[in-house]
Structure 1
Amino acid sequence: MASVAVVLGSIRPGRAGEQVVRWIEEQSLRLEGVTPIFIDLRDYNLPFFAEEMPPSMQAPTLPEAVRLRTNIEALDAVVFVTPEYNHSISGVLKNAIDYLPPATLKDKATALVGYSYYGGVTPRTHLREILSTFGADVRDQEIGINLGSDFVDGAFTPSEELSAQLRELLASLA
């Protein structure tokens, strides 16, 4: 049984990412051996990173940072769900990642799901670059969700093809 953290990189009210996370959870339940665990950055009170030492030299001791690190370390794999903010990932997601010592994601099976009107291409690219410095095992396959064609009247309506791609990606994490 593989436990998979599903980290939502948006804290905005009305965020589209919640619907995406629910879809990931639903698709996970169709696979034997995959248990999704939602990690909502809204639930972590992480101030902007301003530690004296970088996490590569000393793990942050701020209780919320320790809780985030412990929760991610306890799971087998991670799916980062990122919106596109100004052609990159959100500040809250980058800040949360900045609190993680590299060992947290070293060799951890990791997947990227991005959403925007352009399928989240740019934030997925940036996130891949960031995670590569940790030595994360980022899967080549990624999921891009288009806010125009994959949402109808504000409701996420993924195609069966997109759902099949996600199940394949999740299975690769297990």
Structure 2
Amino acid sequence: MTSIAIVLGSVRPGRWGEQVANWIQARAQAAGLDAAVVDLKEFDLPIFAEEPPSMVVPTQPEGVRLRETLEARDGLIFVTPEYNQSVPGGLKNAIDYLPPSTLKDKPVGIVGYSWHDAVAARAHLRQILSGMGAALAQEDVAINLGSEFPEGTFTPSEQVDAQLRALLDALA
């Protein structure tokens, strides 16, 4: 059975990404995948300040725990909000702890959410992950906070649900 980690990329209070990550997990499990949410809020990652991971594998214990958690999965889905036309600093910091070998040729998908479908965040994350050699799925999931979160509750449209099905098919 294919196993995927759903990396929840926001660590701030009141984040809407938990609803998105839980939806992805439920859909992935219904599709026969072994899916687990990896919440970056559960990792105590200080600002990355080690040697470049392409030269020396980071040794900070929480960074090692994150790397081992992600390496144990066949594929990954990164869930990111859009902050200031990019990914959140906490997500970028977590990725900085990963040596390129963690993502090299690993199937990876991106799910983004914002008032503007997280266009900039998804593009930036795609650039970051492709530079690390990830096997990025062509399918992204674009979630609009205005239409998919009526009254603060995530209610995916058929279009968004179809995007996720295509992404899960690509990762499987």
Question: TM-score band (shorter)?
Answer: over 0.9
> How many residues matched?
172
List runs of 5+ in structure 2 lacking aligned partners: none
Give the counterpart letter for 1:161 in structure 2.
Q
1:1-174 equivalence runs, <5 A: 1-32=1-32, 34-51=33-50, 53-174=51-172
The higher-RCO structure (CA 8 Å, 6+ apart) is 1
Return the offset for 1:29. Answer: 2.1
SS of 1:12's equivalent in the other structure is: coil
Unmatched segments (≥5 aa) in structure 1: none
Matched residues in 2 for 1:30 and 1:38: separation? Answer: 15
Q: Which amino acid aligns with 2:55?
A: M
Counterpart CA distance in 1 for 2:81 and 2:160 is: 17
Q: Say if 2:80 and 2:88, in contact at 8 Å, map to a contact too.
A: yes
Q: Which moved further from structure 2: 65-74 or 152-161?
A: 152-161
Matched residues in 2 for 1:72 and 1:164: separation?
26
SS at match of 2:147: coil
- C-alpha distance in structure 2 between counterparts of 1:168 and 1:29, whole Å: 15
Q: Would you tell me which structure has more helix in proportion to its own residues?
A: 2
Identity of aligned residues (%): 56
- What TM-score comes out, normalization by structure 1 length? 0.97
Offset at residue 164 of structure 1 (A): 2.3
Letter in 1 for 2:37: F
Q: Residues of 2 paired with 1:29 and 1:97: CA distance? A: 25
Deviation at 1:172, TM superposition (A): 1.2
d(CA) in 1 for partners of 2:166 and 2:131?
Answer: 25
Measure the CA separation in 2 of the matches of 1:165 and 1:98.
Answer: 28
CA RMSD across the alignment: 0.8
User: Which stretches of structure 1, 4 residues or longer, exceed 2 Å deviation after superposition?
Assistant: none
